[in-house]
Structure formats: structure tokens, C-alpha cells
Structure 1
Amino acid sequence: MTTLLTILTPGFADWETALLNAGAREYYRLDTRFATPGGEPVTSAGGLSVAPQLAVEEIDPSDYDALLVNGGSIWQQPDAPDLTELLQSAHAAGTVIGGICDGVIPMARAGLLDDRRHTANGPESLPDTGYSGGALFVGSPRAVLDRGIITAPGTAPVSFMGAVLEALGLRTGDLDFYLGLYAAEHQAGSSSAASS
């Protein structure tokens, strides 16, 4: 069975991988799992408490088809978890790797963005990581998929979901319909707010 593992940290941004995990689990019947530093329960920015299945330190990348890094302000802190070895091992194993919002920062630190197109919240969010892929940065409001690596700004949970599922070989008309359904409010011509 295809398995997705999402890394969550204290204060993680609830909305960034919620749609992906819900669609993967309920519609596609994929196995969705969660890991946190030390395997400790975490509370999101919105107050959602999550008890993970395992600790980040216990992850064996070969056990998962996709490894996803959820965003959160912790990734900007000097004491952020170091995922470099884990992400490099996952990349070497051919695991699909995705990061959204500040979850892109540990991917840059691990060198995964040095040689492929990528995006983030903005180019200014990555220089302190030491990465050398600035010339391949794409200023995009949507997720960018390049050879199994997915990056997205925090405002793009719908296209992030689509890119992850596409990278897993699940791009079908059903997925296109699902993406259109959840992105409908952002289509040209839709009103900005419903009136009563």
C-alpha cells in the first residue's frame, strides 16, 4: 500500500497538508502517517492536537512512498529539527519528498533544491539555508514538481496535494476534478465573499 508520512512540529500550520492527507486517506485509500520530533504529541497553530505514530528520529525512508514536511514557524528558528540526513537518505531511496511553506527550508538545507526547479514563500525565505539553487527558484503561487521533489508556498495547499499525488503516479481525471472542486473559490469571476 502507498504510504505518506507527514512531519509535524509544534505550532505546525494545520491547513497546509490537511487536504492532502484527507484526500489521500479517504478518497485514494492510501496509508497516511505522522511523525514528530521525539514522537511527542504536538499542537498546531490553530490548536489541533496530534498524537503521531512515530518519532522523526525513527523514520526509515524506505518504508514510505512520500515524505512530507509541513510548514510552521519552527523551521525559521536556529534550534529547528535537523532533517538533513533524513531528507538526503529519502532522496537517495527514491522517495517522493515535499515541503510546503517553511517546510521547504529543511529541504533547502539538505541540498535538495540545488539542482531542480522549486518555489517557497519567497526567495528571501531560503538564502540563510546555505543552498545554491537560487537560479532555479520559481516565483509561483502554485506548487512546483521537479523530478520527485515538490515545493509550495503556504498559500498553495490544493496544488501541493495535486503535485504530491501526481508524483506518486495518481494523476487522473478524478484528481483533476478533485483539484478543481477545492480550488473553485479561487477561479476568475468568483466573488470574494458570499453575501447574505
Structure 2
Amino acid sequence: MTTFDEFRTNVRIAIHAFDGMTMFHLSTPLAVFGEVTRSGLAEWETAVFSDDGQPVRTAEGLLIADISGPEVADEADLLIFPSWPTDLPPAEQPLVDMVAAAHGRGATIAGLCLGTFPVAHSGLLDGRTAVTHWLKSDALASQAPNVQVRPAALYIDHGDVLTSAGTASALDACLHLVRTSLGAEVATAVARRLVIAPHRDGGQAQYIERPLDDGTAAEGPIGAAMDWALHHLEEPLTIEALAARVQMSPRNFSRRFREYAGVSPAKWILARKLDEARRLLETTELPIREVAQACGFASPVTFRQNFVTAYGTTPTAYRHHFSDVEATRMSG
């Protein structure tokens, strides 16, 4: 099956709308994916549709008149449900059939926030993990008992089906789709234009990304240690060394760091090293050994093992894929 994350530059996206949905939920995928096209990064076409092709009125009272019918889902590469009515009605059969048909021909299905519910109603999440707004996690578990609900996640991507937590997590999920399709540099460029973080880990904890470093002072001793680490990824970044920089004991530093970031220092550091490795693979021709060294890995073997574990592909294959995308983008 062809999935959305196979480095596409021409994508058709169908976004479901209904009476009473908030403008924020509808605007999130439109803003992120529309910025890809507006910035000339790729040709991504978005279309908003309702169940019957009729205009919908948002929760704020605005009438969305320029709207398509459900037939746009027939040609979509990505079918998105940005929300769902708060009384959580079961998805009607035509919509369930639409999801099944789109998925069957290779489209990726995404349920953002309460939009996880119609995806779950379709059966595509049976036996899989999923996330929705934390307030409705118990309701999702009740309505879809075959789904393993993970309330703490920002988003969960199975390749062919993606779900996200509430509100701003939908931005994270949409940027994730940009990143997996067009690369970290494009996702960072889109995030900069929208003035949001290009990637978050560890539940709701916000992470400082090296590509977004603007010289702004970090917050508190833990933030200062994180900021310093981002500029010294090639060095041995032990808990003891970081704690000493901010005059804290390793035990207290580890506890405070987890409270601040949502994950352990070791996990955060590894993620940042891999972020930098992806950037170097995408934007330079440095040999793999030098990339590993620049990112503080003990050896190319250790680098490769961690990269494969995190992304399911080797550094060489990753570079090859994203070099192809860049060449396609530049030639277009």
C-alpha cells in the first residue's frame, strides 16, 4: 500500500466539515498544508467537504459556503477529520464506506482531536493504538473497545492511519505529516512561517529545537542547560556534566528536567542528536561518519542503530529519499 509518508510533492487533501465545528479545528489543516503550497515548497491541494455538499455554519456563526461534496474524498491522498460533534454520534454508513474506500485505495486517514471518533467508527483502528482529546478518552474507549487509547500522546502515526490529541496537537500532527513527506527542513520552514514549534515530544512538553534557535534566553536553569546542550551536541552530554553547568546535583537535575521537559535528559538528548542528524543528512553531503561525529554518537554503528530504531530506515536511505525530494522541488 502506498502511504502518505513516501516523500510526495503533489498531494490532494480532503478535509471534512460539519455544522457546529469550530473555526480553529477546520483552519488547522488548512493553515499548515496551505502554507506548504503558498511558500512554494510543494503543490498540495486542499478541499473542504461536507456530507451532503451543502454549506456549513461554524460554532462561531460563520457560514462556509465554498464547500465541496463527499466525492472529493474519492481522489484524495489524505482524508482528514479535523473534529467531530461534541455529542459524539456514531458515524453514518456513507461516511464509514468513504473511509474504507479511501483507505483501500491507499489514501492516508487522519483523525485530529475528536476526529478520531469517525476514524474509530470505521474500524480502521481496531487492534491499534489511538489518541483523542483527553477529555473524551474514556468515551473513545467505550465506543471503540477494540482500540487501545493512549491519552498522553500528542499524536500516533501508523503510516496509513494517524490520530492526534486535542486542539494544538492537531498542529503537531499536521506538521508531522509535512515532515515525513517533505523532510525536516520543510516542516521547520512551515513552522517558522506559522510561528509554532516544528516538533514536540514527551506528551505536552514543549521542546527547544536547534533549527529554531534565535538567541533567545532559555527559561530557568533547566532551560539554560538545554540551550547549552543544543550548541554542544558533539560533546559527551552526561547528566553529571549538564547538572554541573547549572550547579545542581545529578539527581535533582534529572527530576527537574523531567518535570520541565516531560522526558528524561537522556531521551531528550538522543532526540535532539537525531534531529540534528536529519538536518545534516538533508542539507549537507557530509559522510555518515562525520554526521555521527558532529551529533555526538560514539561511532557510525551506534548512530545507525539509533537512527533505524527511531525512524525505521538507515541514515543513507533517509538521505537518498530526501535528496530526491529536494531535487524534485528544485527542478519544479
Structure 2 counterpart of 1:25, from 34, 41, 54 = 34
Say whether 1:173 aligns with 2:185. yes
Alignment of 1:1-196 (within 5 A): 1-28=10-37, 29-56=43-70, 58-61=71-74, 63-73=75-85, 76-77=88-89, 81-82=92-93, 83-122=95-134, 123-134=137-148, 137-155=149-167, 156-166=169-179, 169-179=181-191, 181-183=195-197, 187=206, 189=219
Unaligned runs of 5+ in 2: 1-9, 38-42, 199-204, 208-218, 221-332
Greater relative CO (CA pairs within 8 A, separation 6+) = 1
- 1:82-111 CA-to-partner distances (Å, cap 9, x unmatched) read 421111111111101101122111111111
Q: CA deviation at 1:128?
A: 4.1
* Pair 183,49 (structure 1): closer, same or farther in 2 beyond 3 Å: farther
Which structure has more helix as a fraction of its residues?
2
Q: Secondary structure at the match of 2:166?
A: coil
Shift of 1:131: 4.5
What displacement does 1:144 show? 1.5
Tell me, in whole angstroms, the C-alpha distance in 1 between the residues paired with 2:17 and 2:121: 17
Give, in whole Å, the separation in 2 of the partners of 1:67 and 1:125: 23
Unaligned runs of 5+ in 1: 191-196
Larger C-alpha radius of gyration, 1 or 2? 2
User: Residue 13 of structure 1 contacts residue 70 of structure 1 at CA under 8 Å; is this kept in 2?
Assistant: no
SS in 1 for 2:22: coil
Q: TM-score, normalised by structure 2?
A: 0.49
Taking structure 1 as the reference length, the TM-score comes to 0.79
Structure 1 partner of 2:265: none
SS at 1:73 equivalent: coil
Matches of 1:125 and 1:164 in 2, distance apart? 26
Q: 1:75 Cα shift? A: 6.2
**How far is 1:117 from its partner?**
2.6
Aligned length in residues: 183
Matched position secondary structure for 1:47? coil
CA contact (8 A) 1:42 1:49 kept: yes
- SS of the equivalent of 1:5 reads strand
Q: Percent identity?
A: 21
Q: Which amino acid aligns with 1:133?
A: V
**In structure 2, do the counterparts of structure 1 residues 52 and 151 end up closer, same or farther at CA, with 3 Å as the change threshold?**
farther
Query: Secondary structure of the residue that 2:132 maps to in structure 1?
Result: coil
Deviation at 1:6, TM superposition (A): 0.1
Provide the alpha-carbon RMSD of the alignment: 2.6
